[in-house]
Chains A and B, each alone.
Chain A
Amino acid sequence: MHATEGKTVDCFHAGLCLTARLYRMGERAVVLDANITQGEQNGSNPLENIITVQRRLWWMANKLAGREGLVDVVPGMNNLTLVFDPLASKHPDWLDVLGNHWEFGDEALPEAQTITLPVRYGDEYGPDLTAVAAHSGLTEREVIDLHTDADYLVMFLGFQPGFAYLNGLPEQLFMPRKETPELSVAAGSVGIGGSQTAVYPFASPGGWQIIGRCDKTLFDPQREPASLMLPGDYVKFIAVDTL
């Protein structure tokens, strides 16, 4: 199989057929991408599909973590990446392992908590709030109301320690990432990137539109668990005047 080729595997869940694409990424990673299922199922709610798919990926990630020869198991947004040691003595074809787990898998329902995050929107804390308002054709107030009214689900952690990718951003607020990432975004920044929203636990370069700032400690290596938000948790933003 040429590196750029992939294959597809179906799984069935509650009468739904969910299709995932499997492919290799270089010599030491394989990817299962179920994003092609979104909005393509007959008569089903695409949003529910996204969550159903993600629950299946959480189950797979739990099941595969710690397997001999696996370096990392990384859930993404409706996708799962396995990084492996290509020189490991015990060496299954990890692409097949992904396919089998998808086809015959189950759903994980982690114990959920609801986390409230106070956010100071706009001004120097959210320099791109104006741009998001302009892009969406809303006022800044309406952007804030939409962002705080929604209920969010933690889909996965990535990008930085404790950085939670949240599902549930109202469609009016979708906005592309910046053409060139900023060299530095402040810790606690609340951003919008495409159809996703999140808070940056640490200062870093970043390509998302920054609409506000939150001062909660999102990641503390001395805490157990180190990350405040974990996959399956619910998140609510509230607007505050001061941090």
Chain B
Amino acid sequence: MIRILAAGPHTSIQDRGRTGFRQLGISESGALDSQALAYGNVLVGNPQNSAVLEIMAGPVEVAFDCNRWIVITGAAMQATISSGDNSGEKPLTMGWRLQAQPGDVLRIAGSGVSYLAIEGGIDVPALFKSRSTDIGASMGGWHGRLLKKGDVLSAGKQKSLHKSMGVRQTPSDGIVRAIPCPDYLQFDPGSQAALWNTAWRVTPQSNRMGCRLDGGNKLVYSGEQSTRPSQGVFPGVIQVPPGGNPIVLLADAQTTGGYPVIATVIKADLWKLAQTAAGQSLQFRESNAEEAVAALREEKQRLRQFQSVLKKHGKH
């Protein structure tokens, strides 16, 4: 079991998300940075889709009463682990697994989207085939809510891991590839150019539903806006409300929407949105389906290679 001693402002249980139920209006939810989720899980011997803690900011403190390998992936947080007998506190390197012992307390400080993956996975019941927390609909995860002080979670079965291993994570280069949608043609030429040329600043209003951008340039849609019918949307869709500031939909986004869609961010680059903090900027680069699928395949391949390295060197 693991006990939450401090939960931070926004810590939730997430896995890869809840797909297949959009026709009921059920959002995807799931980890904002699916790469960090996958590497975290693989490092502690879990299936890629196991449930982990998604942490937006510290201070988070977790006490262990069991032997479990753990790893923190995603944003660069500051983490330490101290043993129950107070024999000292040691730093935990991001992306490197370590075995927590009964009595150990893990402390995480800093901010950024990060994941605490625990050997065996967080054991909560699946709802609509996912363990992710859907905050908007108050369902899934841990009682449909953010974690708070005093919550006690259980982890699944132990694996046969032995030595500390890790992965060096690539930081985001701030270049987010996107594919124009038909609505793109109904933006004036200046707005089309601005989509690609602007350094888009991530605003503090951004959350798990959407990454709200501001770049000074307003994007002007010339099509009919007022009676525009709603249609299916998904993470990565770049909506432009009449105000002209684009919003990139993220994991908790609604399933349908009615704002013009200028482009969609390719799936392989979605994690970069999670790793761009409020106040930082990103730039869109025009892409196409072929490049997007190749990037996705490459990402899958890289993860598979990493998995086989771990299998070769990381187990008895």
Contacts and interface: CB of A to CB of B under 8 A. Distances in A.
Contacts of A86: 267, 289, 292-293, 296
Contacts of B256: 74, 76, 156, 158-159, 165
A49 interface: no
Nearest to B264: A26
A157 B25 contact: yes
Given A74-B23, A160-B25, A227-B25, A27 B179 contact: yes
A201 B254 CA distance: 13
Interface in A1-60: 3-6, 23-29, 31, 33, 35
Contacts of A81: 231-232
A78 B227 CA distance: 13
A161 B228 contact: no
B93 to A, nearest CB: 32
Contact of B23 (A35, A157, A176, A196): A157
Contacts of A26: 179, 181, 236-237, 263-267, 289, 292
A77 interface: yes
Contact of A35 (B136, B182, B229, B288): B229
B227 A195 contact: yes
B231 A76 contact: yes
Contacts, number: 179
B285 interface: no
A72 B23 contact: yes
B241 A207 contact: yes
B289 A3 contact: yes
A3 B180 contact: yes
Contact of A4 (B182, B258, B259): B182
Contacts of B309: none
A25 B261 contact: yes
A74 B182 CA distance: 18
B25 A162 contact: yes
A75 B23 contact: yes
Interface in A162-199: 162-163, 165, 174, 176-177, 179-181, 183, 193-196
B137 A61 contact: no
Nearest to A231: B23
A205 B249 CA distance: 13
Interface centre among B22, B138, B293, B297 (most CB of A within 10 A): B22
Contact of A159 (B21, B138, B180, B255): B255
Interface of A: 3-6, 23-29, 31, 33, 35, 61, 65, 71-81, 83, 86-87, 156-163, 165, 174, 176-177, 179-181, 183, 193-196, 201-205, 207, 219, 221, 226-227
4 residue pairs, one from A and one from B, having the closest CB atoms? A158-B256, A81-B232, A74-B232, A26-B264
Given A26-B267, A179-B242, 12 more contacts: A25-B261, A26-B263, A27-B179, A27-B292, A31-B231, A79-B232, A87-B300, A158-B254, A159-B25, A159-B257, A180-B242, A221-B128
